[in-house]
Amino acid sequence: MTTPRHRPCTCAKGGLRRWWRRRRRRNMALSNTLNRYLLLLAQEHLEFRLPEIKSLLSLLGGRFSSHQEIHGKSPFWILSIPSEDIARNLMKRTVCAKSIFELWGHGKSPEELYNSLKSYPVEKMAPFLHSDTTYKIKIHTFNKTLTQEEKIKRIDALEFLPFEGKVNLKNPQHIFSILEDYGLDPNHIPEKPLNIYFGRWIADGQRELIESYSVKKRHFIGNTSMDAGLSFIMANHGKVKENDIVFDPFVGTGGLLIPSAHFGAYVCGTDIDYNTVHGLGKASRKNQKWRGPDENIKANLRQYGLEKYYLDVLIADASKPSWRKGLFFDAIITDPPYGIRESTRKTGSQKEIPKGIEKCPESHIPVSFNYHLSDMFVDLLNFAAETLVLGGRLVYWLPVYTPEYMEEIVPRHPCLKLISNCEQRLSSHTARRLITMEKVKDFE
């Protein structure tokens, strides 16, 4: 919520200029350091947030250093980022973060915050405080609600900052925020904040994509269509960028192709199920018996204005790749079937008929056999190692039985480096883990 404040006055005509000169001499050394930014994160998919931010910083030319102030489950992270452009571009991609601010000061009490603000380099403040600008100040609290009176009191306490511009609550040039953190426990809210931050708003994240690409509004869906938020997180973990070629070997209804296409990548896939790929048979929606004539993957991309990024989807068996040698993908992003709501199948052959079962006539090949999960993931990693470009990423879901899970069960490959391993709990004893791997050497 936004509240107006009075413009602070200076004691004399040249007071602001003298104040700046004094602080410039004291803070010159600080002006050459990396800018610090405050990231305000959504309290959803907590394990996925750090890998997403790391991947996007790497993609955008930034670097995630070990000195970043990351506080686990907290929605407030302090990042050192080389430039404001990188911070803005980060927010054009992330669905895990709500907003980013240029951090001017922070502390564990109001006094610490004010001292921190007084030590902030004046050269970085000046362009946003002069008389030709308009601004407003907002209050954001986490885990506590403040009264209007409390908000105004906090804003008035900042009168020592030399704002020369005019307050504009509707359409300001610059927005400043006071952000207060009252911890994570809603049952034990402290009287005073644990941390207080002040910064200049830079940009918002892409949280609205979760709603605009919601599966509920999508033309063509299946029983296992991926949630929109997780789909975009997977594309970000995969460092998908414009003009990439992204492949899904278990494409299903194509839900994982859509975020990649949204980011400007060309998309393609394969699936063994003819009916699913072509949108035939029974519908997955309630109160709809059969699929419509235009329910297919291409129609989904057309729905979002992304049809130009659709390459093709083939009916093919992931266990028997039919691609020619030398075909390279920039990313492979997929959700293999686990054999629960979608069966795990591969095409059969005379040689693969199990012992004890009478062989079929030579003219007949069984339609499919069960495809064991362990074999599926071995095949997937081998395929990724062979067809990804160097630096390309494989992003996939691994189902696990939680009581028996150990990190050692995550499939490995000598050509692929494990980047991240994030858990999504499905029940008290089952989960699935989002595995991200990067190709680091050529396949032999």
What is the dihedral sign for C-alpha 282, 285, 288, 293? negative
Mark whether 283 and 189 lie in a shared domain.
Answer: no
416 shares its domain with 429: yes
Last residue of a domain, one of 155, 177, 205: 205
The residue that leads in pLDDT, 327 or 42, is 42
Tell me, yes or no, whether 252 lies in a domain. Answer: yes
Of 60, 106, 104, 103, the residue nearest 85 (C-alpha) = 60
Same domain, 266 and 200: no
- 193 is a domain residue: yes
Residues 231 and 136 occupy one common structural domain: no
The reply to whether 140 and 231 lie within a common domain is no
Do 253 and 306 lie in one domain? The reply is: yes
Between strands 174-181 and 134-142, the pairing is parallel
Q: Per-residue pLDDT tens for 407-433?
A: 999 999 999 999 999 999 999 999 999
47 to 64, 72, 379, 380, 424: CA distances (angstroms): 17, 9, 27, 24, 8
Give the angle subtended at the CA of 94 by the CAs of 69 and 408, to the nearest 5°: 70
pLDDT tens track for 308-344: 999 999 999 888 877 888 778 999 999 998 864 444 5
- Provide the residue range defining the domain that includes 416: 209-347+366-439
- What residue has token string 């502390």? 107
Residues 285 and 258 reside in one and the same domain: yes
Residue 6 structure tokens:
């009075």
Domain C-terminal end among 187, 205, 223? 205
73-82 pLDDT, tens per residue? 999 999 999 9
Last residue of a domain, one of 157, 182, 205: 205
Cα–Cα distance, 196 to 183 (Å, whole number): 11
- Asked if residue 191 and residue 214 are part of one domain, the reply reads no
The domain total for the chain is 2
In a domain, 25, yes or no: no
Tell me the per-residue pLDDT of 242-295, one tens digit each, with 9 for 90 and over. 999 999 999 988 999 999 999 999 999 999 988 888 777 666 656 666 566 678
Is residue 14's pLDDT more than 80? no
pLDDT tens-digit readout, 147-178: 999 999 999 999 999 999 999 999 999 999 99
Is 130 within a domain? Answer: yes
